[in-house]
Structure 1
Amino acid sequence: MINVFQPTVGAAELDALSEVFASGWLGRGPRTAAFEAAFAAHIGVEPAHMTFLSSGTAGLFLAIELLGLGPGDDVVLPSVSFVAAANAITASGARTVFCDVDPRTLNPSCDDVERAVTGRTRAVVILHYGGYPGDIAAVADFCRQRGLMLIEDAACAVASTVSGRACGTFGDIAMWSFDAMKVLVTGDGGMLWVRDPELAARAGRLSYHGLAQDSGLRSAARVPHRWWELKVRDFGRRVVGNDVTAAIGAVQLSRLPDLLRRRAEIVRLYDELLADTPGVRLPPPLPDGHTSSYYFYWVQLDATVRDAVAADLLQRGIYTTFRYPPLHKVPVYGARVVLPETEQAAEETLLLPLHAGLDDDEVRTVAGELRAAVRRHGAGYEEEQR
């Protein structure tokens, strides 16, 4: 099977794990702090504002809590988003107000966001679809003008930028995901950045039981008298990352330029192989000044053939998918809205395999099988067979 997502890990990650095991300290400790600092440097922010977590989803839930969102509040979210964002909003008691997206980029425009704002809107959550930054600079300006908080779901955008500025640093809070399918993987894990220093400190407490003190084993030089006594500042939970996953993450971060280079090569090869293929629309080009993490590579087909093409590819050992199914269609969120561009994109879009482990022959196989499947199911195929 040629997988749509696949981690790229090897001996260097194993060596890092061996060092953690030999240290005898597997929990949150010095390697966690080092990974937070290294990722902060990668993004271009201060490490004190960064917290390594057990998942990106935990970061979304913390973001909603840190901003005090709840009953009576509206939060705008593009319908093409991962379910975790809508769950985090809805679980707080706030109302998720879904906005439309551009049917080609699957990112919302600033106008899409503005149309969804109500008199009760307090925050906006933006996903960078497939690692493509989208209209984030304009959305961030709009939110500042309206006094709205902006949360960036940068799960797909570990290295995406606009005019040299990292996605994740345009808003008030951002999270990144490092699960086993992402560009940078730690198995499970995520990173949370909070602009406000007081909220950043609170994020650290909320992620570890609301405690205000460090473990004595983690920082012996700063251990207070009777360090075992609890100082609970917030009613938190345990969603921290640890030195095992942080060690993997540090190696992955050092390899990130090579992983991104390979992804970009695969995208260019798909573009070349699929150019001018009847019935196949490729991802739109990036605007000037934008860089992508190339998490997704998507094509768009006629809605009448998309599912049949996907089934054909699966039978031939090529796994494809669509992410993310429209959340406004999920009954539990109680949305009563028609989003025509989102609904069109959801019926036409198909993600092709894209990960650093793909070789050129596999990319050619995917492209060739896609072209053949589209011909089989496209208009006029029956006449060709007669």
Structure 2
Amino acid sequence: MKQRTKLMIPGPVDVWDETLEALGRPVVSNFTEDWAPIQTETIALLKKIFQTQNDLFILTSAGSGAVEMGVASIFSRGEKVAAVSNGPFALRSIEILRAYDCDVVEIENGWGCGADLDQVEAALKQHPDVAGIVVVANETSTGVRNQAKELAQMAHARDIPILVDAISGMGGYDLPVDKWELDILCTSSNKALETPPGLGFVSVSERAWSVIDRKAAASGRGWYYNLSNWKQYREQGRYAPTTMATSMIMGLRASLKRIIEVETLEGHWARYAWAQKAVRTGLRNIGFEMLAPDDVASFTVTTVCKHPSMAHEQEVRDYLAAKHNFTVSGTMRKTEGKAFRVSHMGRSSSKEYLIPFLLGIEEFLREEKGIDVPLGASLVGLELPGY
């Protein structure tokens, strides 16, 4: 029988047994009294991970739907919006902005680099009428963390909101919504929150609500992806305007309880930090280079430049799939074919996955490229924790 494929892609991720067990429980309706304590507990757990007291909504959606909800609710047609552009998912947020007829001030930075704050400052001075800033906190394709805290400070100095796409960031490192005053933050279930895909999350600050409420009567805001509509339903005692994905939320609750009550949030971040170091150190030990420099490197996914011996990055991915049942992602757009992505989220942030993965790449270099890589060279200098 074929062995189970092990996902080392940046979403969906392999999840823990507690989550799978919770997903298999009997279906509960969100229109019954049984649902209220489940919803209340899940929101409370999410707020601990977000580090926020802001309003927080759970929607049946991919992460991009959560971003669309934020854009549709806080920006108006024709408004000028500044967007940091340094990767494919920044380009997606720009596509969403343009789909709502926003006038985008695209602040282009190099792929593999963090946001150039001086360049952002210059763009804001050149366009003093911008209505807000949009940034991807963690660029999943390039493996880069952007400076959400500093960009929020720039926005608030001009009395405008910031919208943060934290789809592959939230849960993977310290990203404190209230402390950094992140007005709208959007994420999803299937990355560092270690749950299968299907749920989106949006947190909304008081500053954001003041803007949204002022624009609520404007046409063209849609119905489902409209925070004003969700707010009205909540004020009526409803959690959402539609049927909710209750089984998915029960799986999410199990994942969040594991993070908060078993690992602790700090322990969860520590596992991701160890996994990041293991991947970067291990692959450098055997001749690979990383796309992102260490100071802006993602804690959830590492983008690895193809080895000098390789014509195309697909070679190593095909080998890992055929010989070791690891599924690893390529990259997108500008870096396609030149690099591959290694996720360290969910189970792939454990030594159970990462040690065989690193040894598998060593084996690829020996067997396919004829390079004399000593067995275990990728593990030199790695501290092996309990996870």
Asked if 1:213 is matched to 2:220, the reply is no
Match of 2:106 in 1: 98
Q: Please show how residues 72-221 of structure 1 align to structure 2 within 5 Å.
A: 72-82=79-89, 84-104=92-112, 106-117=113-124, 118-119=126-127, 120-129=129-138, 130=140, 133-161=145-173, 165-166=176-177, 169-179=180-190, 181-196=191-206, 198=209, 205-207=228-230, 213-215=236-238
1:298 is matched by which residue type in structure 2? Answer: T
Match of 2:359 in 1: 365
Distance apart, 1:295 and its partner CA: 1.8
Asked if 1:253 is matched to 2:263, the reply is no
Are the equivalent residues in 2 in contact too, given 1:101–1:107 (CA < 8 A)? yes
Are the equivalent residues in 2 in contact too, given 1:160–1:166 (CA < 8 A)? no
| In structure 2, C-alpha distance between the alignment counterparts of 1:122 and 1:19, rounded to whole Å | 46
Match of 1:309 in 2: 313
Distance apart, 1:125 and its partner CA: 1.1
Q: Which digits, 9 at most, give the CA deviation of each residue in 1:161-187, with x for residues without a partner?
A: 56x8359944221111113x5543243
Match of 1:54 in 2: 60
Distance apart, 1:124 and its partner CA: 1.5
CA RMSD of aligned residues (A): 4.0
| In structure 2, C-alpha distance between the alignment counterparts of 1:26 and 1:278, rounded to whole Å | 58
Distance apart, 1:366 and its partner CA: 4.1
Distance apart, 1:123 and its partner CA: 1.8
**Aligned in 2, Cα 1:363/1:350: closer, same or farther, shift over 3 Å?**
same
**Aligned in 2, Cα 1:296/1:267: closer, same or farther, shift over 3 Å?**
same
| In structure 1, C-alpha distance between the alignment counterparts of 2:123 and 2:370, rounded to whole Å | 41
1:213 is matched by which residue type in structure 2? Answer: Q
Are the equivalent residues in 1 in contact too, given 2:173–2:269 (CA < 8 A)? no
TM-score by length of 2: 0.69
Distance apart, 1:138 and its partner CA: 2.0
| In structure 1, C-alpha distance between the alignment counterparts of 2:104 and 2:309, rounded to whole Å | 32
Distance apart, 1:152 and its partner CA: 0.8
Are the equivalent residues in 2 in contact too, given 1:158–1:176 (CA < 8 A)? yes
Of residues 120-129 and 350-359 in structure 1, the stretch that sits farther from structure 2 once superposed is: 350-359
Match of 1:300 in 2: 305
**What secondary structure sits across from 2:163 in the alignment?**
strand
Unaligned runs of 5+ in 1: 219-236, 327-342, 378-386
1:296 is matched by which residue type in structure 2? Answer: V
| In structure 1, C-alpha distance between the alignment counterparts of 2:244 and 2:195, rounded to whole Å | 13
| In structure 2, C-alpha distance between the alignment counterparts of 1:153 and 1:44, rounded to whole Å | 16
Q: Please show how residues 228-377 of structure 1 align to structure 2 within 5 Å.
A: 238=241, 241-256=244-259, 257=263, 260-278=269-287, 280-281=289-290, 283-286=292-295, 294-301=299-306, 308-317=312-321, 318-323=326-331, 325=332, 343=334, 348-358=338-348, 359=352, 360-369=354-363, 371=365
Distance apart, 1:296 and its partner CA: 0.5
**Aligned in 2, Cα 1:239/1:362: closer, same or farther, shift over 3 Å?**
farther
| In structure 2, C-alpha distance between the alignment counterparts of 1:41 and 1:356, rounded to whole Å | 18
**Aligned in 2, Cα 1:10/1:39: closer, same or farther, shift over 3 Å?**
same
Unaligned runs of 5+ in 2: 217-225, 372-387
**What secondary structure sits across from 1:3 in the alignment?**
strand
Distance apart, 1:260 and its partner CA: 4.9
Match of 2:220 in 1: none
TM-score by length of 1: 0.69
Are the equivalent residues in 2 in contact too, given 1:109–1:134 (CA < 8 A)? no
Figure out how many residues of one structure are paired with residues of the other and give that number: 330
**Aligned in 2, Cα 1:247/1:2: closer, same or farther, shift over 3 Å?**
closer
